[in-house]
Amino acid sequence: MQSKIGWLVICLLVLVMSCDSKQVFDEYKSVPNQWQKDAVIEFNFLAPDTINPYNLFVNLRNTNDYKFSNLFLIVEMDYPNGKVTKDTLEYIMAKPSGELLGEGFTDVKENKLWFKGYDKPFTFSENGEYNVAIQHAMRANGDVKGVSQLQGVTDIGFRIENTQE
C-alpha cells in the first residue's frame, strides 16, 4: 500500500512539474518586510543558446499593502562579455478603481511583467553567464527623493520562457 502511495506522489510531482513546458529559468527572491530603495535583487543564469528567441519577464508578488497604481523598475542586464543594458520600465499594477491586477485568489497577487521579447523576439547574443539586477524606482507624487521603503512587495522573480512549446 505504501509503495503505491509513493508512486502516486512521484507521478503527481512529475505531472505538476511538466505542466510548465515553456519555462527555461524561473527564480524568486523574497523581499524582507519592505523593498528598500537601494536594494538590488540579482539573478544569475546561463544563456540557454544563441539561436532561439525567448521571452523574459520580471515576476512580482505583492499584497494589498501595495499602495500605488503603477510600478517603476530599473532593470540592468550584464552580458558575459561585458556589455550592459539598462532599462527603466513602468508597469500598471491596478485598475482605475484601485483593484490590484495580477493572478491569485488571496491578498497576494502575482504579476508577470514583460522585460524582453514583447515587441520583437529576444535572442541571447552571447554564450555564458548573464546577470539581471532589478531595483525599484518609485516616487510619491511631488517627492524627488523617491520611496525609500516600498511596502506590499513580497517577492521579485525573473523568468525566461521558450517562445514555442
Interval 41-58: pLDDT, tens: 999 999 999 999 999 999
- Cα–Cα distance measured from residue 26 to residue 24, given in angstroms and rounded to the nearest whole number: 7
Amino acid 110: pLDDT: 94
> Per-residue confidence at 121, pLDDT binned at 50, 70, 90?
confident
Q: Between residues 99 and 3, which one has the greater pLDDT?
A: 99
Amino acid 13: pLDDT: 47
Backbone dihedral region of 98: left (phi > 0), alpha (psi from -120 to 50 degrees) or beta?
left
Main-chain dihedrals φ then ψ at residue 122, nearest 5 degrees: -105, 125
Interval 76-90: pLDDT, tens: 999 999 999 999 999
| Helix spans in the chain (H) | 2-18
Measure the CA dihedral 7/9/15/16, to 10°: -170
pLDDT at 16 over 80: no
pLDDT at 3 over 60: no
Calculate the alpha carbon distances from 118 to 55, 76, 124, 145 in Å. Answer: 7, 17, 15, 31
Amino acid 158: pLDDT: 98
Amino acid 4: pLDDT: 56
Amino acid 19: pLDDT: 60
pLDDT at 11 over 90: no
